[in-house]
Amino acid sequence: MTMIQFSGAGLLAPRKEGDQLFEVRLIDRRTGEVPRVNGKPLSFLTHAPRHAAAELLRGRDRALWRTHVEPVEPPRRDGRGPGDGRPG
């Protein structure tokens, strides 16, 4: 999945919640799908997932929208790990 990363609009707030990196996605409750912008899924990387989720939901009907937050695994020091095609 390709992620669109924005540094504006307050979505990448100061690291108040720690150094863990999270992916935050907006989900359409009617379809269960992530909305797309120019064919790419709308998602953000942030160190402040609660803030990013609140910003994504601002002005939206919460009966129609929800957010999904997932931690991003840091790369391993040995260069092996998630997404590199080699066993961890």
User: Could you tell me if residue 39 is inside a domain?
Assistant: yes
- Give pLDDT tens digits for 37-48: 999 998 989 999
User: Could you tell me if residue 55 is inside a domain?
Assistant: yes
Ranges of residues in the chain whose predicted pLDDT is under 50 = 1-15, 88
Please give the full DSSP string across 9-62, using - where no structure is assigned. TT-S--S-S-S--EEEEEEETTT-PPPEETTEE-EEEES-HHHHHHHHHTTS-T
User: Could you tell me if residue 30 is inside a domain?
Assistant: yes
User: Could you tell me if residue 48 is inside a domain?
Assistant: yes
Q: Report d(CA 24, CA 4) in Å as an integer.
A: 11
User: Could you tell me if residue 50 is inside a domain?
Assistant: yes
pLDDT of residue 73: 84
CB atoms within 10 A of CB 26: 20
Number of independent structural domains in the chain: 1
pLDDT of residue 14: 45
Q: Which residues pair with 8 in a beta bridge?
A: none
pLDDT of residue 79: 63
Quote the domain boundaries for residue 42. 22-71
